[in-house]
A and B are shown apart, each in its own frame.
Chain A
Amino acid sequence: MTDATPERDTVAIDSMAHDIYKQLTEGGNMLDVPFKTMKDVFMWAVCLGAQQGQKMPLTGKRISIFRWAQFDPQIDVPLLKAIAIAESGDVSILLRRNDILNIIEEYANAGIYELRARIFDEFGQPLWNLVSMVP
């Protein structure tokens, strides 16, 4: 990443994972569709990927699903930066948003499939399955 590259403002996912994001956010019943926003789904996916140390490059078409500004500056942004520091071992990555985004998007791309499996493929209602994932 060079200084000349403009800073990205949007967060992208692989188009193949887009349906999972919709499945987890679209619908009225909170017990079956636990998430309110795609941002929260993305954060869960990032954290699951980082927890398990699994990353997956985005190889398909990239879809922007929300803007960087939607991340909570008190929780999400420091958390994502911590993940990026831990991954890169480089403190200066804090000033390189595009590098941070590349790392977390790859974690989310791996974590989203794990999240879907744990929520929908296991016995029980999706919300309680999600609750059971909180350590």
Chain B
Amino acid sequence: MKLERITLENFRQYFGRQRLDFAKDKQHRVTVIHGVNGAGKTSLFLAINWCLYGEGVSNVGELISKEAIKLASSGENVEMSVELSFTHDGERYLVKRSRHGTKMFDGSIQVNSADEFIVMRILWDGQAQTIKNPIGTINAILPSNIRSYFLFDGEKIDGFAKPEAAKEVKEAIYLVFKLETLDRARGHLETAASDYRKELKTATSGELRGLLDEDEKAREELKRKEDRKAEIGIELDVARRKVADIEQRLREIQNVRFLQQQRDRIEQDLKVRRAELEDVQNQIRDITTTSYFTLVQPVIGRALHLLDEKRERGEIPSNIRRQFVEDLIAEMRCICGRPFTDGSPEHLRLLRIIDNTLPGALEDEVLDISATLRTFNGRAHRQRDDLTIHMKRRAELVDLIKDLDAEADDIGRRLKDSPLEEVSRLELQRQSFLADIDRYNTDTGSLARDIDSLKERISQLEKRIGQARKNEKKEKLLGIKFDLAQRAADAIKDMYQTYADDMRLRIEAKTKEIFKLLIWKDSHFQDVRLSPDFDLEVIDRYGRPARPELSAGERQVLSLSFITAMSRISEEEAPLVMDTPFGRLSSQPRNNITKFLPDLADQLVLLVTDEELRDQARANLEPRIGREYRLQFDSKTSCTRIEEVR
């Protein structure tokens, strides 16, 4: 930032509109503003701060010119403003902050709402473009929290050199070199890492591994069972083929052929009967599972009784629809065709029926349900009859199957006991294979049940694994986030330390260089150190810390050296605006400072008393002064006028 011009309007003692241009070329970069005590140097210094940063810059008190308020009429609007133009990074900016007030009848001023603050950028074609985020823009150019190191009050200039100032020094370095940003980033990352660590602790762990083990075992078990079932299936086919082969062989043996043929017929019959039995049992099942209504015959009876009772009381028509009754009344004719007269018993009865009839929908329901329920008795009889018939047929089939089984057994026994050795052996083998087939069937059934159960278990496990995977994914993500946050925090911490140390050493070297230039007892002070704890120390010729013994002027020089060193190292393009900088200095240090300071700042604005800048000091600055003003305080009006001297 390089200041161009400031325009004040009714700001404190600056009544009306007054303007001041700042020196800014390389050779003539010093602006000197003279003023006796109370002339308005501090107000001008304050105007720059207020314009850029608004309230809160310090205890500003009343800002609107008392003279302007006095001259305004009651109810008249009074405007106060400060305009500042400056360049920064090749761009030109106009900043205006203003405040409006209305003069009250008692002479006081009622300030209207908040200050107006606008920042405009001047484009290449001279057009002004309003910036939508003025506060952000100013803070980006010269952050509010570091401004006091560039726009500073001479009264406080020795602050950094006081023995207890380590904290301030550290803070200044933090702010100017943006170490604060790094430190904040480290803090945020450590907080994030801590949050992730806590979350990780509550996240599930190890569950997925256990479930996957369980799933793997279940799948291995399933595969074993399925393989075994397939093997049994093959063995079953083999056994059936063997039985078929044996039976074929028995059909070929002359003496027993008829027995085998008889057995073939029995087996065929058994197959048919068993299929019929299955079918009958299915029908029994269908009849039985829908026979529930037979249980509640008495309840149906009670419901019908209730419906009948209501009908007998005339509350429900006996199957006579309302429309039909209305038609009879319209025709004045009885249901039997006989006409009746108005008020006759028939007429009155029909009218009563109409009065008692139910609403349409309910009437329909009542009629339908009454009719349906009356069929339930017959339906129950039919259901029972069907069930009896099917149960009887089932019993017949069971007996028939038993008989056929007995016949087949008998044939088997006869073949086994056959005197023909081959026949006996074949039948024994057949029976052995049939036993195997039974066993295989049992095993297959058992395996099928196990397989179903395993599949169900695997399905359940898959669901649980899916959920656990989600949890684990979250866990992994958390782990990565935690690791990243912690490593980033550690890296920033290292970076911060390295950067801070580097900055500290560079500032130390530069402060020493400047201090040596500015101080008059350069041979007495041998060194300037900035310790890792940010203690700014001066070492005397005896190698001992000399800060406690520094005079006020020497402390001021040390502070100034530190500030200008920071300004040089930070490479921030900012002016040094110093209010009453040499008040405590004797002529020699003042001479030194005025000799070297213009080269240590890009732009120097000095608000001084005549006493502060005279003789050699004045002569030193002379070739570098670009602009010079005098603040003329009028004791009659208590107003200050800015007079251009050069």
Q: Which residues of A contact B (CB under 8 A)?
A: 30-31, 34-36, 40, 43-44, 46-48, 50-51, 74-75, 78-79, 81-83, 85-86, 89, 91-92, 94-95, 127, 130-131, 133-135
Contacts and interface: CB of A to CB of B under 8 A. Distances in A.
A40 B295 contact: no
Contacts of B307: 85, 91
A94 B299 contact: no
A101 B368 CA distance: 19
Given A50-B295, A135-B297, 19 more contacts: A34-B288, A34-B289, A47-B296, A51-B296, A74-B372, A78-B369, A79-B292, A82-B369, A86-B303, A86-B306, A91-B307, A94-B362, A94-B366, A95-B361, A131-B288, A131-B387, A134-B291, A135-B294, A135-B295
Interface in B285-316: 285, 288-300, 302-304, 306-307, 310, 315-316
Contacts, number: 107
Contacts of A92: 362
- Choose among B284, B296, B302 the residue with the greatest number of A CB atoms under 10 Å from its CB: B296
Contacts of B383: 134
B387 A79 contact: no
Interface in B310-330: 310, 315-316
A94 B369 CA distance: 9
B293 A47 contact: yes
Interface string B208-237: 000000000000000000000000000000
B384 A81 contact: no
Interface of B: 281-282, 284-285, 288-300, 302-304, 306-307, 310, 315-316, 358, 361-362, 365-366, 368-369, 372-373, 376, 379, 383-384, 387, 391
B365 A95 contact: yes
B289 A35 contact: yes
Contact of B316 (A30, A31, A91): A91
A83 B362 contact: no
B241 to A, nearest CB: 27
B295 A48 contact: yes
Contacts of A133: 295
B288 A127 contact: yes
Given A130-B289, A134-B291, A83 B299 contact: yes
Contacts of B303: 81-83, 85-86
Contacts of A36: 285, 289
- Choose among A36, A51, A82 the residue with the greatest number of B CB atoms under 10 Å from its CB: A82
Contacts of B282: 30
Nearest to B286: A36
A119 B298 CA distance: 23
Contact of B289 (A31, A44, A91): A44
Contacts of B361: 95
15 contacts: A31-B281, A34-B288, A35-B289, A40-B289, A40-B290, A43-B293, A79-B300, A82-B303, A85-B306, A86-B303, A91-B362, A94-B366, A94-B369, A130-B288, A131-B391
Contacts of A134: 288, 291, 294-295, 383-384, 387
Nearest to A131: B288
B504 to A, nearest CB: 70
Nearest to A41: B289
Contacts of A79: 292-293, 296, 300, 376
Contacts of A75: 290, 293, 379
A86 B299 contact: yes
A35 B285 CA distance: 8
A127 B387 CA distance: 13
B306 A91 contact: yes
A94 B303 CA distance: 12
A43 B288 CA distance: 12
A133 B289 CA distance: 10
A83 B304 CA distance: 10
Nearest to A37: B289
A94 B373 CA distance: 14
B66 to A, nearest CB: 75
B295 A47 contact: yes
B285 A83 contact: no
A128 to B, nearest CB: 9
A97 B467 CA distance: 41
Nearest to A44: B292
Contacts of A130: 288-289
Nearest to B304: A82
A130 B287 CA distance: 11
B43 to A, nearest CB: 77
Nearest to A135: B294
Contacts of B293: 43, 47, 75, 79
Contacts of A34: 285, 288-289
A30 B362 CA distance: 41
Nearest to A53: B299
Contacts of A83: 296, 299, 303
A44 B315 CA distance: 33
A51 B368 CA distance: 23
A66 to B, nearest CB: 15
Contacts of A86: 299-300, 302-303, 306
A82 B285 CA distance: 25
Contacts of A30: 281-282, 285
Nearest to A132: B288
Contacts of B299: 50-51, 82-83, 86
Contacts of B306: 85-86, 89, 91
A34 B285 CA distance: 6
A91 B363 CA distance: 10
Contacts of B285: 30, 34, 36, 127
A92 B369 CA distance: 12
Contacts of B294: 134-135
A94 B295 contact: no
A127 B288 CA distance: 8
Contact of B310 (A78, A91, A127, A135): A91
A130 B284 CA distance: 10
Nearest to A127: B285
A74 B391 CA distance: 26
A114 B421 CA distance: 60
A94 B363 CA distance: 10
A131 B390 CA distance: 11
Contacts of B292: 40, 43-44, 46-48, 79
Contacts of B281: 30-31, 127
A16 B393 CA distance: 39
Contacts of A89: 306
A127 B289 CA distance: 9
